[in-house]
């Protein structure tokens, strides 16, 4: 009889724990949906989501928001405690989760691509960190274009003073030329000469069946022909892709496969 009572209390405790964890998971799920929207549509918009860390950002937020918090509630919650103790436990859990989540959000936000910079025939994905060491706020990038991340051209300097500045920043602050703000110009003003240096996409797809299939899918969805677009390499943080440009200089998609130079 006593064993049955103990088993019954234990079962009730488990049910209460899962109920509390379920409520926590529901609340966390709403928060996660909001953050997922920001990551997918604002911070890591297509076509940069997969190549530049969007998936990694989603996983960080999901781990903290959907796993850490509800799991802590499942372990710690005990309806047998006093209301004061329960409030303290839940408050502690909320505080810990909020602190870790703020760290995760800051990390994901700070790593977002804020600029796609052209340099010497290739594009490079840029986060905000390179501009911070130059005391440049990311809002200053808006002068080169309104769309985010903004397309920018970094020109190759020819005069001695400008070359010296590039070398100084490269040595002292470990900044590559495409990271240096003083070299930036609007992409649209230079797009014709930039896109003239496009990849030979026919040569690439002849040696890469996966990329050929991706390109065929893209063209069937857009109703375009292969020569309606320009193809330029993008060096992103997680894997290299080919950016597909319209003739007006807008990025229309990517080929999510390594390119060959």
Q: Does the pLDDT value for residue 29 go beyond 90?
A: yes
Residue 261 included in any domain: no
Read off the pLDDT band of 42 (50, 70, 90): very high
Residue 167 has a pLDDT of 94
Q: Does some domain include residue 260?
A: no
Tens digits of per-residue pLDDT, 93-148? 999 999 999 999 999 998 999 999 999 999 999 998 888 889 999 999 999 998 88
Residue 81 lies in a domain: yes
Q: Is the pLDDT of residue 4 over 80?
A: no
Domain limits for position 87 = 2-110
* 123-127 contacts at long range (C-beta below 8 A, 24 or more positions apart): 123/232, 123/233, 123/234, 123/235, 123/243, 124/176, 124/178, 124/179, 124/234, 124/235, 125/48, 125/51, 125/52, 125/149, 125/234, 125/235, 125/236, 125/237, 126/178, 126/179, 127/237
Q: Are 134 and 250 found together in one domain? A: yes
Per-residue confidence (pLDDT) for residue 260, from 0 to 100: 45
Structural domains in the chain (count) = 2
Instruction: Give the domain-ending residue among 76, 110, 144.
Output: 110
In a domain, 212, yes or no: yes
Residues 16 and 92 in one domain: yes
Final residue in a domain of this structure, among 80, 110, 140: 110
* Banded model confidence at residue 6, pLDDT cuts 50, 70, 90: low
The model's pTM is 0.83
Dump pLDDT digits (tens) for 164-175: 999 999 998 899
What's residue 261's pLDDT? 43
134 with 24, same domain: the answer is no
The answer on 178 and 233 residing in a single domain is: yes
Are 103 and 129 in a shared domain?
no
């Amino acid at each position: 009889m006593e064993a049955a009572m103990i088993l019954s209390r234990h079962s009730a405790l488990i049910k209460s724990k899962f109920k509390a964890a379920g409520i926590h998971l529901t609340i966390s799920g709403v928060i996660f949906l909001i953050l997922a929207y920001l990551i997918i549509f604002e911070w890591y918009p297509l076509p940069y989501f997969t190549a530049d860390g969007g998936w990694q950002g989603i996983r960080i937020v999901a781990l903290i928001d959907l796993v850490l918090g509800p799991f802590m509630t499942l372990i710690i919650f005990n309806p047998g405690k006093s209301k004061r103790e329960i409030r303290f436990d839940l408050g502690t859990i909320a505080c810990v989760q909020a602190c870790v989540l703020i760290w995760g959000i800051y990390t994901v936000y700070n790593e977002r691509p804020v600029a796609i910079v052209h340099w010497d025939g290739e594009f490079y994905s840029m986060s905000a960190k390179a501009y911070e060491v130059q005391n440049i706020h990311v809002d200053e990038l808006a002068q080169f274009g309104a769309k985010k991340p903004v397309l920018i051209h970094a020109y190759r300097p020819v005069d001695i003073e400008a070359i010296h500045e590039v070398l100084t920043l490269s040595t002292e602050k470990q900044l590559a030329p495409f990271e240096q703000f003083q070299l930036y110009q609007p992409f649209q003003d230079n797009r014709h000469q930039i896109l003239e240096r496009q990849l030979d996409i026919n040569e690439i797809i002849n040696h890469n069946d996966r990329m050929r299939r991706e390109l065929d899918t893209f063209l069937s969805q857009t109703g375009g022909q292969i020569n309606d677009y320009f193809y330029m390499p993008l060096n992103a943080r997680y894997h290299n892709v080919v950016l597909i440009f319209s003739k007006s200089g807008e990025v229309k998609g990517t080929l999510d496969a390594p390119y060959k130079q």
